[in-house]
DNA sequence: CTAATTTGACCGGC
DNA sequence: GCCGGTCAAATTAG
C-alpha cells in the first residue's frame, strides 16, 4: 500500500470546505426566512461545525506522515470508509479479525451475480464517551430477525432489517458484530439502502443515512440493552457520536436486480439514501454535544462506476430534504458541482 | 391487543 | 458438510 492518497484527502478537504460553505449559505437563507422550521438553523450550524471539524481532521491526518490509516484524530470520532474488496481489507487497527468473514459472497467478480448489494461497514467504538453501546441508533427503525454465532467471533452477530420492509420495499439490512477483542467496538455492516419513508408523517424529515445499531450481543454482560429503535427525529441525529467510529464501505455493487422498481431515478426514489454520515442519535440524550470526526478513506477509484451506492448528486437533487451528507464522492468527480437548490434543503 | 425479539430450523453457496 | 444468512413459530415487551 502506498501512501494513502493524499489526493483524496485533499479532495475530501475541499469537499468539506465546500460543503461548509454551502451550509453556511443555507443558514443565511434560513436566518432571513422567518418561517424556517425550528431546529433547522441549529442543525445547519451543527453541520457547519461538523464540516470544519472534518476539514481539520483531514488536515491533521495529512500533516502526519505515517498517517495513512488510523490516524484517529484526537479522541474524536473517526469515520473510516474503505472500499474493501472482499479479501483485502487493509489492515485496520481494530479489527484484526477483519477477514473473518469477509469472503462472504461471491465476489467472483466476473460472474457478477446478484446478491451483491451495496454494502459498507462502520466500525464504531463506543467507549467512555457515551454510556456504552446502549444508545446507538441511527434514526432508522430496525427489526432484528436473527442472530448467529460466527465462526471465529466471540460474540454473536445480529441481523437487522428495516422495520418497514414489508410495507415498503425497503430492503436495507444491517449486521452488528461486536469485536472480538474490543468489546467496545461494534462493526456494523449495512447492506442495501433505505427506500422507506419513515419520517414522521407530516414532517418531511428525511431519514438520514448511517444507521447505527441497537446492539446487544451479550445479555449477560450487557444489561444495557437498547431496543430503542423507533423512529426518531432526525434532527437530533447529529448530536451524539460515539467515541470512535469508522466506516468502511465495501463491495460496491448495486444490484438493481433486487430493486426492480427502483432502478430509474424517478421521483419515486426520493427516499433513497444510503450515504452515511454522522447521524448518531442518542435517543436519550438530546443534549447538545458536538463531535468531531474525520473521514477519510474511501479510496476506490475503481469500481464505483455505477456509483450508485450513494449517489449524492442525484439524491441531493431529487430529494431536497436529504442533504445531510455526501461524504464521499465517487472518485473523481463528485463535487464538481453540488448545488443544493436553495429553499428546499431540508424542510 | 399489537408489535418486536428470541431462537432453532432451514436454505444456499462454497 | 460447513458456515453465514434468513425464516418463522414461540415468546416477550409495550
What DSSP line would sit under A204-218, residue for residue?
A: -PPP-S-------S-
- For A75-105, b/e burial (b = at least 16 CB within 10 A) is ebbbbbbbbbbbeebbebebbebbebebeee
Q: How far is the CA of A86 from the C1' of C4 (A)?
A: 15
pLDDT-wise least confident of A59-68, A190-199, A222-231: A222-231
Mean local confidence (pLDDT), A235-249? 48
Instruction: Check whether A98 has a pLDDT greater than 50.
Output: no
Looking at the structure of chain A, the number of domains it has is 2
- For A212-223, b/e burial (b = at least 16 CB within 10 A) is bbbbbbeeeebe
Instruction: Check whether A154 has a pLDDT greater than 70.
Output: yes
- Whether A145 contacts A191, CB under 8 Å: no
C-alpha cell at A273: 439514501
Could you say which of A161, A191, A221 is where a domain stops?
Answer: A191
Instruction: Check whether A132 has a pLDDT greater than 90.
Output: no
Q: How far is the CA of A176 from the C1' of C14 (A)?
A: 24
Strand C at less than 7 A from CB of A159:
yes
Q: Is residue A20 part of a domain?
A: yes
Mean local confidence (pLDDT), A266-279? 38
pLDDT value, residue A122? 65
Strand C at less than 7 A from CB of A143:
no
Q: How far is the CA of A118 from the C1' of B4 (A)?
A: 27
Q: What nucleotide is nearest A163 when CA is compared to C1'?
A: B4
Residue A65 burial (10 A CB sphere; 0-12, 13-18, 19+): exposed
pLDDT-wise least confident of A11-20, A151-160, A328-337: A328-337
Could you say which of A142, A170, A191 is where a domain stops?
Answer: A191
DSSP-derived pairing of the beta strands A77-81 and A293-297: parallel
| Alpha-carbon gap, residue A302 to A314, rounded angstroms | 20
pLDDT category at A156 given cuts 50, 70, 90 is: very high
pLDDT value, residue A27? 76
Mean local confidence (pLDDT), A110-136? 53
- The percent of residues above 90 in pLDDT, for chain A, comes to 5
Q: Is residue A114 part of a domain?
A: no
Residue A336 burial (10 A CB sphere; 0-12, 13-18, 19+): exposed
**Of A293, A215, A340, A245, which is closest to residue A57 (Cα–Cα)?**
A293
| Alpha-carbon gap, residue A211 to A340, rounded angstroms | 23
Q: How far is the CA of A43 from the C1' of C7 (A)?
A: 40
pLDDT value, residue A287? 33
**Is A57 strand, coil or helix?**
helix
Q: How far is the CA of A129 from the C1' of C8 (A)?
A: 39
pLDDT value, residue A57? 62
Size of chain A, expressed as the number of residues it contains: 347
Q: How far is the CA of A81 from the C1' of B12 (A)?
A: 30
Q: Is residue A169 part of a domain?
A: yes
Instruction: Check whether A182 has a pLDDT greater than 70.
Output: yes
Q: What nucleotide is nearest A177 when CA is compared to C1'?
A: C4
Please tell me the number of Cα atoms within 13 Å of A332 on its side-chain side: 4
Write down the residue that cell numbers 498517517 correspond to. Answer: A67
Q: Is residue A257 part of a domain?
A: no
Instruction: Check whether A290 has a pLDDT greater than 60.
Output: no
Could you say which of A44, A62, A80 is where a domain stops?
Answer: A62
Instruction: Check whether A59 has a pLDDT greater than 80.
Output: no
pLDDT value, residue A312? 36
pLDDT category at A184 given cuts 50, 70, 90 is: confident
Which residue has better confidence, A175 or A206?
Answer: A175
- The percent of residues above 70 in pLDDT, for chain A, comes to 22
Instruction: Check whether A150 has a pLDDT greater than 90.
Output: yes
Residues 6+ apart with CB under 8 A from A7: none
Instruction: Check whether A168 has a pLDDT greater than 70.
Output: yes
Q: What nucleotide is nearest A171 when CA is compared to C1'?
A: C6
Q: Is residue A91 part of a domain?
A: no
Q: How far is the CA of A146 from the C1' of B11 (A)?
A: 14
Which residue has better confidence, A253 or A98?
Answer: A253
Instruction: Check whether A48 has a pLDDT greater than 60.
Output: yes
Q: Is residue A278 part of a domain?
A: no
**Of A187, A193, A161, A159, which is closest to residue A276 (Cα–Cα)?**
A193
Residue A5 burial (10 A CB sphere; 0-12, 13-18, 19+): middle
C-alpha cell at A97: 479479525
**Is A305 strand, coil or helix?**
helix
| Alpha-carbon gap, residue A184 to A174, rounded angstroms | 18
Residue A179 sits in a domain of what CATH number?
A: 2.20.25.80
Write down the residue that cell numbers 453541520 correspond to. Answer: A47
Instruction: Check whether A225 has a pLDDT greater than 80.
Output: no
Q: Is residue A306 part of a domain?
A: no
Q: How far is the CA of A178 from the C1' of C5 (A)?
A: 17
Q: Is residue A39 part of a domain?
A: yes
Q: Which value, to the nearest 10 degrees, does the dihedral of the CA atoms of residues A107, A110, A111, A113 take? A: 50
Q: What nucleotide is nearest A101 when CA is compared to C1'?
A: C4
C-alpha cell at A341: 437548490
Strand C at less than 7 A from CB of A223:
no
| Alpha-carbon gap, residue A207 to A140, rounded angstroms | 7
Q: What nucleotide is nearest A226 when CA is compared to C1'?
A: B5
pLDDT value, residue A159? 95
CA torsion sign, A142 to A159 to A88 to A247?
positive
Footprint of strand B on the protein (CB under 7 A): A 105-106, 108, 141-148, 163, 214, 216, 219, 225, 227, 229
Strand C at less than 7 A from CB of A227:
yes
Strand C at less than 7 A from CB of A175:
yes
Range of the domain at A23: 2-62
Q: pTM to 2 decimals?
A: 0.50
A161 forms bridges with which residues in the sheet? A143, A173
Q: How far is the CA of A337 from the C1' of B4 (A)?
A: 43
| Alpha-carbon gap, residue A294 to A54, rounded angstroms | 5
pLDDT-wise least confident of A24-28, A107-111, A126-130, A142-146: A107-111
Distance of CA A285 to the CA centre of its chain: 20
Q: What is the mean pLDDT of chain A?
A: 53
Strand C bases, protein C-beta under 7 A:
3-8, 13-14
Amino acid at each position: 500500500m502506498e501512501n494513502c492518497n493524499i489526493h483524496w484527502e485533499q479532495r475530501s478537504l475541499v469537499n468539506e470546505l465546500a460543503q461548509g460553505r454551502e451550509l453556511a449559505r443555507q443558514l443565511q437563507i434560513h436566518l432571513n426566512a422567518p418561517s424556517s422550521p425550528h431546529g433547522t438553523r441549529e442543525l445547519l450550524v451543527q453541520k457547519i461545525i461538523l464540516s470544519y471539524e472534518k476539514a481539520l481532521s483531514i488536515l491533521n491526518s495529512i500533516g502526519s506522515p505515517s498517517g495513512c490509516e488510523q490516524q484517529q484524530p484526537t479522541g474524536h470520532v473517526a469515520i473510516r470508509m474503505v472500499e474493501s474488496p472482499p479479501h483485502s481489507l487493509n489492515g485496520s487497527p481494530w479489527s484484526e479479525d477483519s477477514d473473518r468473514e469477509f469472503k462472504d459472497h461471491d465476489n467472483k467478480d466476473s460472474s457478477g451475480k446478484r446478491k451483491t448489494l451495496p454494502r459498507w461497514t462502520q466500525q464504531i467504538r463506543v467507549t467512555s464517551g457515551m454510556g456504552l453501546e446502549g444508545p446507538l441508533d441511527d434514526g432508522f427503525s430496525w427489526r432484528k430477525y436473527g442472530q448467529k454465532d460466527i465462526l471465529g467471533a466471540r460474540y454473536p452477530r445480529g441481523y437487522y432489517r428495516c422495520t418497514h420492509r414489508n410495507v415498503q420495499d425497503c430492503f436495507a439490512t444491517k449486521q452488528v458484530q461486536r469485536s472480538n477483542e474490543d468489546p467496545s467496538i461494534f462493526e456494523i455492516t449495512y447492506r442495501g439502502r433505505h427506500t422507506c419513508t419513515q419520517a414522521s408523517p407530516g414532517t418531511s424529515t428525511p431519514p438520514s443515512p448511517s444507521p447505527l445499531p441497537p446492539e446487544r450481543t451479550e445479555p449477560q454482560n450487557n444489561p444495557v440493552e437498547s431496543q430503542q429503535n423507533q423512529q426518531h427525529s432526525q434532527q437530533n441525529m447529529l448530536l451524539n457520536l460515539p467515541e470512535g467510529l469508522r466506516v468502511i464501505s465495501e463491495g460496491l455493487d448495486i444490484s438493481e436486480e433486487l430493486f426492480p422498481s427502483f432502478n430509474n431515478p424517478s421521483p419515486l426514489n426520493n427516499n433513497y439514501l444510503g450515504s452515511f454520515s454522522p447521524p448518531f442519535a442518542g435517543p436519550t440524550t438530546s443534549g447538545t454535544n458536538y463531535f468531531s470526526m474525520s473521514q477519510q478513506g474511501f479510496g476506490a477509484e475503481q469500481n464505483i462506476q455505477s456509483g450508485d451506492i450513494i449517489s449524492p448528486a442525484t439524491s441531493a437533487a431529487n430529494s431536497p430534504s436529504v442533504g445531510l451528507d455526501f461524504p464521499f464522492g465517487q472518485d473523481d468527480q463528485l463535487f464538481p458541482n453540488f448545488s443544493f437548490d436553495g429553499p428546499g434543503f431540508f424542510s
